[in-house]
Amino acid sequence: MIATTATAAIERFRTVDRVVAARVLALSPEHVTDADVRETLSQVGAPRIIVFEGSIAFVSMEPFAQFLIAMGYPETSLRDPRDGRLSRSSFADSAQIAGEVAWYYERDGMVPMLIGHSQGGMLVIRTLYELAGEFRDTIAVYDPIANEPLDRTSIRDPLDNASRPVVGLKIDYAAAIATGKLARVMLGQWSMIPRLRTIPDTVVDFTGFSVDNDVIAGNVFGDEPYHARGSAHVRNVRLPASYGHIGLPLARHLAAQPATRAGE
């Protein structure tokens, strides 16, 4: 069953039209236009994006997910296959999330992307540390549809059909939005305080967003930038105080702006 899943995933890549594949490879990630999405990216599969809301979700990450959908991202790659939600709670087990990442990669041939707001950003970073083996030596593969762990800690890599453990799997992209250390202290999340700004090698590209004078995040007197522990490419983005901590996920309206759709 495992080998069949991996074979099916790689077979989907082999059937992609070569002209379309060449157009995808020629795209510039910094300048993807509405036409690029409609004419090229819509013809190929898209990795799942899992978004996590903050600890007190006055505003969930659903508007952010709706922004991605309005920009052309496949809705099925954003909705939770179990309950259909677009936004997930940040009060989740990071080992379970790591196990889900492995399950999706084995099934789809694409590693999910993780994006979290406030405490959700902490959960994203903690999941990266789970994949790095920081908290435990093995992690069970987790089936998000059945909502249960499987009786194995490894998957068949869809690229070469070789067995590989969940621990050590690398995510291509992850992001934390307005995630501060003060809340980690208040919520007793002690193990993440020294790790929160250091990004492990289990992600290729990571973006950390911070808001100036963010009282909730606790960076009124400045904030330590994110940095890589090793090979990860880490980018820091500072947003003006006018954006506000709670309202950051309210991005649905941006999809209607011509500059956004033009990829500027």
Domain count, the chain: 1
Confidence of residue 260 (pLDDT cuts 50, 70, 90): confident
| Residue that wins the pLDDT comparison between 151 and 15 | 151
Report the C-alpha gap between 71 and 148 in whole angstroms. 33
Confidence of residue 237 (pLDDT cuts 50, 70, 90): very high
Q: What is the pLDDT averaged over residues 123-137? A: 97
| Residue that wins the pLDDT comparison between 78 and 8 | 78
Most confident range, picked from 8-12, 100-104, 192-196: 100-104
Report the C-alpha gap between 261 and 263 in whole angstroms. 5
pLDDT of residue 2: 52
Query: Residue 6 pLDDT more than 60?
Result: no
pLDDT of residue 187: 56
- Write out pLDDT tens, residues 83-97: 999 999 999 999 999
Query: Residue 1 pLDDT more than 60?
Result: no
Query: Residue 138 pLDDT more than 90?
Result: yes
Report the C-alpha gap between 243 and 172 in whole angstroms. 27
pLDDT of residue 7: 57
List C-alpha distances in Å: 32 to 37, 42, 131, 173, 262.
7, 12, 30, 17, 7
- Write out pLDDT tens, residues 156-188: 999 888 999 999 999 999 999 999 776 666 556
User: Over the range 145-174, which residues count as b (16 or more CB within 10 Å of their CB) and which as e?
Assistant: eeeebeeebbbbbbeeeeebbbbebbbebb
pLDDT of residue 21: 73
Q: State the average pLDDT for the chain.
A: 87
Q: What is the pLDDT averaged over residues 116-143? A: 96
Q: Which domain holds residue 119?
A: 2-261
Q: What is the pLDDT averaged over residues 199-215? A: 93
Report the C-alpha gap between 129 and 115 in whole angstroms. 15
CATH number at residue 68: 3.40.50.1820
| Residue that wins the pLDDT comparison between 146 and 12 | 146
Q: What is the pLDDT averaged over residues 59-88? A: 93
Say if residues 198 and 234 touch (Cβ distance below 8 Å): no
| Residue that wins the pLDDT comparison between 9 and 162 | 162
Closest CA to 99 of 53, 149, 49, 145: 149
The pTM score is 0.88
Say if residues 201 and 230 touch (Cβ distance below 8 Å): yes
pLDDT of residue 150: 98
Q: Work out whether strand 49-52 and strand 113-117 pair parallel, antiparallel, or are unpaired.
A: parallel
